[in-house]
Amino acid sequence: MHAAGGAIPFARFMELALYEPGLGYYEHATVGRKGDFFTSVSVGPLFGELMAFQAGAWFEGLAEPVWVEAGAHDGRFAADFLRWLKGHRPEVYGRMRYRIVEPSARRHGWQQEMLAEFGGRVDWVEGVEALGDVEGVVFGNELLDAFPLERFGWDRSSGQWFRWGVTAVESGFAGCRLPAGDLASTPLQGLPGELLEVLPDGYTVECSPTAEAWWAKAALALKRGRMVTFDYGYEESDRFRPERTRGTLRGYREHRLVDDVLADPGRVDLTAHVDFGRIAVAGESAGLKTECLETQRRFLTWIMAETLKPGVDFGEWTQSRVRQFQTLTHPQHLGHSFRVIVQGRGPATEAG
C-alpha cells in the first residue's frame, strides 16, 4: 500500500484477500457445514444431477459436446454431474468431455483427487483463453460473485461519485475515499438527475468489470451452445434500492456475517450480489442471445417437472432428494435470491 500512495482500490484488496497464492481465502476455504458458506452443491448431489439431466437436452445435435466448468472449487459438482450421466445417460457420457478452468495449482489438486474415478474424461485449462472453440456448455455456480469488485460511493455535498479504497491503519485496515476515475464502464454513467437528488450521502454501488470481462471472453470461446451461471444477485430494475445504502458486500466466516469485511484478509469470504443486467449485456455484446434470466426456484422446478414425465429415467425421487430440492428452491433458502442466466449461440433449447 505504501507503493500505492497509502491506499489501494477495494477491488485490489479483494483480489489479494481471496486469491493470493498460498494465502488467499480460496486457497484453503471449505464448503458446507464445516466451512464458511453453503452452496447448491453442498446441499447434496441433486443439483449436479439435475444439471446433468438438463445437459442431455442441451447436448442434442452435438457430436462431441464439452461441459466447461469454471470455479469448480473441490470438484464436487463435477463428480455429481458425471456420476449421474455415466449411470443414466451412458451414451452421452461416452461422447462428451468435462473441462475445468482452474488457475490455482492447489485447487487443481483437490479436483484431480475428487475426480480420479472418471479417468481421462476430465481435463483442465488455466484460463478461458485456452479453451479453443467450445461446442457445449460453459457453466459456473457462484462464480461471478467472487470476482474482485469496484465499490463507488455518492458524495452528496459535492454531487460526485468517489471510489472506495482500503488503507492501512494501526489496528489493521480501514476504508477510504479515492477519486472515482472514469465511470464509462460502470452502471453510474448517465444516471437521471432525479435519482441522484434523492441518494443519501455515502450510498454505495458495486460493479465488477472483471466478471463482465470474463463473461464476454468466455462467450467468444463458445462456438455453439450455452453459457449458464447461478448466483445470488439482482436484475437491472433492482440495481438501486432504498434499503441498500451500503451496497451488498458481505463477509462470511463459519456461516456468520463478520462485522468488519476488512479484518482478517485471507480468512474471510468476501462476496457481493451479481448485477445480472450487466452480465446479460456483456454476453449479448459478444453475440449471445439471452434465453433465460430467472430465479433458481423456477428454473430447477422446470427441470424437475421434466424428470417426472412418463418413461424418463432420472432415478427415484427419494426423501433425501425431495429435501434437497426443497432447500434448493425454497424462497427462504436458495430459491429466491439466487438467479440463473442462460445465454446461447446457435439453435435454442428451452429449459427441460
Cell 456468520 -> residue: 256
Q: How many domains does the chain have?
A: 1
* Domain contains 166: no
* Domain contains 33: yes
Q: What is the per-residue pLDDT across 215-270, written as a single tens digit (0 to 9) for each? A: 999 999 999 999 999 999 998 888 999 999 999 999 988 778 888 999 999 999 99
Structural domain including 40 reads 29-147+209-244+268-345
Q: What is the per-residue pLDDT across 302-350, written as a single tens digit (0 to 9) for each? A: 999 999 999 999 999 999 999 999 999 987 667 568 999 999 998 644 4
**CA-CA distance, 122 to 101, in Å (whole number)?**
11
Q: What is the per-residue pLDDT across 141-166, written as a single tens digit (0 to 9) for each? A: 999 999 999 999 999 999 999 999 99
**CA-CA distance, 101 to 128, in Å (whole number)?**
7
Q: For position 287, which CATH number holds?
A: 3.40.50.12710
What pLDDT was estimated at residue 118? 96
DSSP-derived secondary structure for 253-292: ETTEE-S-TTSSTTSSEEE--EEHHHHHHHHHHTT-EEEE
Cβ atoms 14, 270 nearer than 8 A:
yes
Check pLDDT > 60 for residue 1. Answer: no
What mean pLDDT comes out for the span 94-116?
Answer: 94
What pLDDT was estimated at residue 23? 86
* Domain contains 171: no
Q: Say if residue 147 is exposed, middle or buried (CB neighbours under 10 Å; 0-12, 13-18, 19+).
A: buried
* Domain contains 131: yes
* Domain contains 295: yes
* Domain contains 5: no
**CA-CA distance, 61 to 202, in Å (whole number)?**
52
* Domain contains 13: no
Instruction: Residue 348: count other Cβ atoms within 10 Å of its Cβ.
Output: 11
Check pLDDT > 60 for residue 203. Answer: yes
* Domain contains 11: no
Task: Write down the pTM of the prediction.
Answer: 0.90
Q: What is the per-residue pLDDT across 20-61, written as a single tens digit (0 to 9) for each? A: 888 888 877 555 444 555 688 989 999 999 999 999 999 999
Check pLDDT > 50 for residue 352. Answer: no
Which amino acid is located at 23 in the chain? L
H or E stretch covering 101: strand 97-101
Check pLDDT > 90 for residue 106. Answer: no
What mean pLDDT comes out for the span 113-134?
Answer: 94
